[in-house]
Chains A and B, each alone.
Chain A
Amino acid sequence: MPADASIHLFLLLWALGVLLISGVASALAGRWSERTSVVLGIAGAGMACLAGLAAAVAGLTARATGTIMLPWRIPYGAFSLGLDSLSAFFLIPLFLLSGLAAVFASGYFRPWNERNPGRFWLFYNLLVASMALVVLARNGVLFLVAWEAMSLASFFLVTFDDRAADAREAGWIYLVATHVGTAFLIAVFILLGRESGSQEFSAYAVPAGSAGALFLLGLLGFGTKAGLFPLHVWLPEAHPAAPSPVSAVMSGVMIKTGIYGIVRMLAVMGAVPGWCAWLVLAIGAVSGVLGVLFALAQHDLKRLLAYHSVENVGIITLGLGLGMLGVHYGIPAVAALGFAGGLLHVLNHALFKGLLFLGAGAVAHATGTRDIERLGGLLKRMPWTGAAFLAGAVAICGLPPFNGFASEFLIYVGAFRTLLANGGLALGGLVAVVALALIGGLAAACFAKAFGIVFQGEPRSPAAAAAHEVPRSLVAPMLVLAALCLAIGLGAGAVVRALDPAVAQLAGPIVMSDAPRGIFPIALGTVLALLVALTLALAWIRRRLLAGRSVRAAVTWDCGYAAPTASMQYTATGFAQPLTNGAWAILQPHVEARLPQGVFPVSASFESHAPDVARANLYDPLFRRLAVGLGWFRWLQQGQVHWYVLYIVVVLMVLLAWALVS
């Protein structure tokens, strides 16, 4: 029974107001009191996220819908907000992760040294508020304003560490990418509103015959924000450069506003041509596989995680594509399963990727480096961080009993359903199954590498050896996220049921057939029972094997050497080499190796970099040509006021004469 959402919307508006006011207050206080500034910022973010989370959860479970509309003096604009199941669903991870990351940030930046905390909290709270506004907006102009505010706030957060040259460069790449995306979106909104002359979502109409082209434009615009291949180039630059809590929010939540845009566009436009569904499916598969392949080749922990965002957005898109195919071919079960899997993965990815980025931040906080090759043995030194990171790693690989399994499982079930249908649809299912399997396997390999090299073995540098567990304000958010990952994995059935109304908005008014819902407890119960049995069996075998032998503890991976050193361990690159070698043609890594020579080699070195293929082969040449082409107009740029005014005068004169003569 749909309920009225005015109380929820009121609470959400209050949260937006608190975020704005606390952000500005924190910025003002930042000049004279660091402590006041931090307290104001964190208090505002905390209160607003709690209120927003409560409103979103209540709105989703009560299936509340409603709109608020206030007049606005901007042409075509109106301050028109709406809450429905889709919006409420996207708001949940948004407020949850933003709140937890804010707690993390309060400890992460201490000591602030010469950084102004007011600058961080202003943009952080603005980012959270604008993301929420994007999800709530029901007017094209308001949506674009919120979208732009979100992009700018995140730009200032990416460049928060503005003394680092790479942070500044990453900021520019991000700024260019996000504005190119926004340009497509403006076109979409103008075209949608042209027929009715109104920018209200409810008044939008698709011009006859152009649904496919419109969807494509939207996919380009929203896909840039979501980080779909090959529009993902800003992700591996911006995420490592940003402070870790910001990376967590950007990767966990902000790129999901791109997914939200695609989903909202589907809901507003209604039917789209079949080829759009195929395109979405294909892009999802390509993003997923390439994302994880690139992740394998990285040795910067946060860059690795950034490529995993490309992969997971690919999985989400794969689910959406499957759902769209189900709608197009009129098979409700496939549609419902695909959309449910995609949407659930939005929530799941927010949780485990947020957790992993916070974990990477904790590692960087403790050791001062993100280079995997310089870490090692951290599990003994940072047990809580290590345990939380492990939970996130298991979840992102889609292994039970964590949450990643639940959403990927839904997509798998939907994909296998298509095999029952004949004709083209089965091909889509096949693509999805193969892609998912490949992604899952490679992701497991990648996190075996990441966790194994960073947390196990022996430290590879003095910084890693001297690491200590991070303060409680950093550990607590990670543990909460890990617990949530587990809880959603175990209670997946209930979560999927709560998702029903949001799925119905996309898949049409169908009830998800009982079979997949019933499958959950059975499958999960079986898997858990198997897992417990397997663990017990292994423990028993271990006991049997060790019985009556002497047990001795030694350093990890000492390989029987008399005097092992840390450099004898596997490196991250070495660990991933069998897999990256197989994908040599795609990754195109630069390798500089001086192999050991002779019987007693004196020195040897090995270096490898995997530059982004899309950037190296598509964007860099494109922008170089563009720069050369635009260079022809340099002579106009004299740098003298006289000339600029002359240009204006000439243009004015010509226009006036033209208007009067014709």
Chain B
Amino acid sequence: MSGVIEIILIFLILANLILLGASRLRNAIRIVAWQGLVLGLMPLLAHRDGLVWAAILLGAGSAGIKGFVFPALLNRALRETQASREIEPFVGYVLSLLAGVGVLALSVWFGSRLPLPWPPASNLLVPAGMFTVWTGLFLIVTRRKAITQVLGYVVLENGIFTLGMVLVEAMPLLVELGVLLDIFVAVFVMGIIVFNINREFDHIDSDQLAALKEGGP
């Protein structure tokens, strides 16, 4: 069992790295969708007491939403806003990749020091989860387009989901469902807002929204 988990985790890490280097929006959406889909398998494997209805439900729900609903919503937003297909980062792709590698190393170090209530299903679990969280945050901070920021949030949630696997017995199902619901609402709302912003301003560059802020120098 732990072999499969490790393959999934390695896929997760590779997907993060690809995402950091991806320059096409449609590609990025596809990668995030795959990441969510594959992660949906994890609860089935991580649970020690064999299959539990709750775990199956959680996995299926999360895979369905992240693998199919989110990409559909985002692709629709992309199509309707007719944004250019470039990601337009603040930090270049090469630099992003280098930073990603640095953060990965940091995550491994964190993972080795983080005190856990019990040993996780795999030694890679904590570093991979943490790396995914940081990747999500990195995407939110360094990418210009609102759609990439939405993608960042989804990746962030994937990381939280992975870390939740460590604590699958301690972390109630309700918490995980709550996080998923939050992200779902966020993506839904952002999809609509991005569309409306585009209609009003003819672009979806979130850095230009600063023109809307009140007062200030």
**A: which residues have CB within 8 A of B?**
634-635, 637-642, 645-646, 648-649, 656-657, 660
Contact = CB atoms under 8 A, between A and B. Distances in A.
B217 to A, nearest CB: 6
A642 B141 CA distance: 4
B110 A641 contact: no
Contacts of A637: 213, 216
Contacts of A648: 137
**Main secondary structure on chain A at its contact with chain B?**
helix
Most buried by A among B134, B141, B142, B207: B141
A657 B109 CA distance: 10
Nearest to B138: A649
Given A634-B216, A660-B110, A640 B209 contact: yes
B21 to A, nearest CB: 19
Given A641-B149, A649-B141, A656 B110 contact: yes
Nearest to A661: B113
B217 A645 contact: no
Interface in B119-174: 134, 137-138, 140-142, 149
B113 A638 contact: no
A457 B137 CA distance: 75
A645 B153 CA distance: 11
Given A660-B113, A660-B114, A642 B213 contact: no
Contacts of B90: 642
B210 A640 contact: yes
B2 interface: no
Contact of B207 (A634, A640, A646, A649): A640
B104 to A, nearest CB: 14
A387 B114 CA distance: 79
Pairs of residues from A and B, 10 with the lowest C-beta to C-beta distance, nearest first: A639-B213, A639-B210, A660-B113, A646-B141, A649-B137, A645-B140, A642-B141, A640-B210, A645-B141, A640-B207
B84 interface: no
B209 to A, nearest CB: 7
Given A634-B217, A648-B137, A649-B141, 5 more contacts: A639-B212, A639-B213, A640-B210, A641-B149, A642-B207
Contacts of A640: 206-207, 209-210
A657 B110 CA distance: 8
B142 A642 contact: yes
Interface string B197-213: 00000000011011011
A640 B142 CA distance: 11
B206 A641 contact: yes
Contacts of B210: 638-640
25 contacts: A634-B216, A634-B217, A635-B217, A637-B213, A637-B216, A639-B210, A639-B212, A639-B213, A640-B207, A640-B209, A640-B210, A641-B206, A641-B209, A642-B90, A642-B140, A642-B141, A642-B206, A642-B207, A645-B140, A645-B141, A648-B137, A649-B138, A660-B110, A660-B113, A660-B114
A635 B138 CA distance: 22
Contacts of A642: 90, 140-142, 206-207
B179 to A, nearest CB: 16
A656 B216 CA distance: 32
A57 B29 CA distance: 70
Contacts of A641: 140, 149, 206, 209
B20 to A, nearest CB: 15
B191 to A, nearest CB: 16
Contacts of B138: 649
A640 B144 CA distance: 10
A273 to B, nearest CB: 47
Contacts of B209: 639-641
- Most chain B beta-carbon neighbours within 10 Å: one of A638, A640, A645, A660: A645
Contacts of A646: 141
Contacts of B114: 660
A656 to B, nearest CB: 7
A641 to B, nearest CB: 6
A545 to B, nearest CB: 71
Contacts of A638: 210
Contacts of B216: 634, 637, 639
Contacts of B212: 639
Contacts of B134: 649
Interface string B101-122: 0000000001001100000000
A639 B210 CA distance: 5
Contacts of B149: 641
Contacts of B207: 640, 642
A635 B207 CA distance: 16
A641 B142 CA distance: 10
B199 to A, nearest CB: 19
B201 to A, nearest CB: 15
Contacts of A645: 137, 140-141
Contacts of A639: 209-210, 212-213, 216
A108 to B, nearest CB: 36
Contacts of A657: 110
A628 B217 CA distance: 13
Contacts of B213: 637, 639
A649 B159 CA distance: 14
Nearest to A641: B206
Nearest to B146: A641
